[in-house]
Amino acid sequence: MVISSAEISFIIHATENEEKVLENVMKKLSIPKEIFKVRKMEGHFGNPIYLYYAKLSGNNAEKFAKQLFSSLNNIDKNLMSLELWKYIDEHGSLYLRIDKQTFFEDKGKLRLAQEDAVRVKLKAKHKFGDMLFEYRDLLKTQ
């Protein structure tokens, strides 16, 4: 097993359809609704903001990681492979930001983005050198 845990989080604003966003994220990432926890917050003007969070471990994290990388477009996977160090912190966790809008595209692949993103954190089980090899291997997932 390569991945020991995965964390997924995203924000749904008052202007978005909460059910549709959640449904599309669940469908594309194969995560059941009951795994998600939600926290309601209040925006600057009193509008509701929902923070969704899920944590997976063991085999569930491993399956999620494979599903995620098989859903990611090839251009982003190639870029990540070349600059993998930019996505990894000092503890070996891999961080991704997936464009939330790509979850609404039926046949399209997921894309990386900086804003309005679904945030993903993957933790590997191995030491740093082995971990880089394992992450690159995941990037080859079709």
Residue 67 in 3-state DSSP? helix
Higher pLDDT, 12 or 1: 12
Query: Which CATH number is 118's domain given?
Result: 3.30.1440.10
- Look at 12 and 128; give whichever has higher pLDDT: 12
pLDDT tens-digit readout, 59-116: 999 999 999 999 999 999 999 999 998 999 888 899 999 999 999 887 779 999 989 9
Total structural domains within the chain: 1
Mean pLDDT, rounded, for 48-62: 95
Burial of 129 (C-beta count, 10 Å sphere; 0-12/13-18/19+): exposed
What residues make up the domain containing 109? 3-139
Total-model pTM = 0.90
Distance CA(19)–CA(109), nearest Å, equals 21
- Confidence band, pLDDT 50/70/90 cuts, at residue 1: low
